[in-house]
């Protein structure tokens, strides 16, 4: 399946993109691509992940969420994302 990055719009195979979705009302990374529901995709690249920080409204709309909630906060979320791409 081909999906496009919400930040840079480049199209890639979904396994080459991070999948973000909402679980229990919070934005999460779907590392196994198996969480049901709407998802958005983002390149595994620092630039695109940083751009996500400015896309709350767009993310919320794409995920059909009224407001984006995070387990802790947005900065921690993005920090975790950056760590997860470093490990790959």
List interacting residues with Zn ion (CB under 5 A): 5, 7-8, 43, 48
- Long-range contacts from 9-16, C-beta under 8 angstroms, 24+ separation: 10/43, 12/41, 12/43, 14/41, 16/43, 16/44
Around Cβ 45, how many Cβ atoms within 10 Å?
16
Residue 16 C-beta: closest distance to Zn ion, Å = 10
Residue 7 C-beta: closest distance to Zn ion, Å = 4
Q: Is 28 or 44 the residue whose CB approaches Zn ion more closely?
A: 44
Q: Is 17 or 22 the residue whose CB approaches Zn ion more closely?
A: 17
């Amino acid at each position: 399946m081909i999906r496009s990055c919400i930040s840079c719009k480049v199209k890639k195979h979904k396994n080459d993109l991070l999948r973000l979705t909402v679980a229990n009302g919070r934005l999460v990374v779907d590392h196994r691509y198996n969480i049901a529901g709407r998802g958005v995709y983002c390149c595994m690249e620092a630039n695109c992940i940083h751009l996500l920080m400015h896309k709350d409204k767009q993310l919320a709309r794409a995920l059909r969420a009224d407001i984006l909630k995070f387990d802790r906060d947005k900065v921690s979320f993005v920090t975790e994302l950056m760590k997860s791409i470093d490990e790959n």
